């Protein structure tokens, strides 16, 4: 079945450590996105990519980095510069170029600073 796989489901980070969240899709979607979800807040866009080897900052990119070396993969690194990284991270993908294209989401990664 086609879909988006996020791993790991739970991740614990020590202070000053970088961690990388994985996102893989087999839907042949062009675009991929990373969102952050905090309790009581809507989803906020971190980074997005519409084509391999190209990506753009979203609304809250500081302290995060991404790469898009393959169409299927869009890993997110949470760096030590991100002061409040504890949150639920969601990856999504979509086709581009038409209003009939919706997003498909992964099951999320919950990151906790210990």
Give the range of 17-25, 45-53, 61-69, 70-78 binding other proteins by CB under 8 A. Answer: 45-53
Nearer to other proteins, 82 or 93 (CB): 93
Nearest alpha-carbon partner for 55 in 81, 83, 23, 26? 23
Provide the minimum distance between the beta carbon of 88 and other proteins in the complex, in angstroms, as a whole number. Answer: 8
Does 52 bind other proteins (CB under 8 A)? Our answer is: no
Q: Could you tell me where the beta strands, DSSP code E, fall in 1-114?
A: 4-7, 10-13, 19-25, 31-37, 43-51, 54-57, 64-66, 76-78, 87-94, 104-105, 109-113
**Alpha carbons 82 and 18: distance in angstroms, whole number:** 9
Give the range of 20-28, 65-73, 74-82, 106-114 binding other proteins by CB under 8 A. Answer: 106-114
Does 41 bind other proteins (CB under 8 A)? Our answer is: yes
Does 76 bind other proteins (CB under 8 A)? Our answer is: no
Find out whether 5 and 11 touch, Cβ atoms under 8 Å. no
Sites of contact with other proteins (CB under 8 A): 6, 31, 33, 35, 40-43, 45, 48, 50, 58, 88, 90, 92, 94, 96, 99-108, 110
């Amino acid at each position: 079945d086609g879909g988006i796989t996020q791993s790991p489901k739970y991740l614990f980070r020590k202070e000053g450590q970088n961690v990388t969240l994985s996102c893989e899709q087999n839907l042949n979607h062009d675009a991929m996105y990373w969102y952050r979800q905090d309790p009581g807040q809507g989803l906020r866009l971190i980074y997005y990519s519409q084509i391999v080897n190209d990506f753009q900052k979203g609304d809250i990119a500081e302290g995060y980095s991404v790469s898009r070396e393959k169409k299927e993969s869009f890993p997110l690194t949470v760096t030590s510069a991100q002061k409040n990284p504890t949150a639920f991270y969601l990856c999504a993908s979509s086709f581009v170029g038409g209003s009939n294209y919706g997003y498909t989401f992964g099951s999320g990664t919950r990151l906790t600073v210990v």
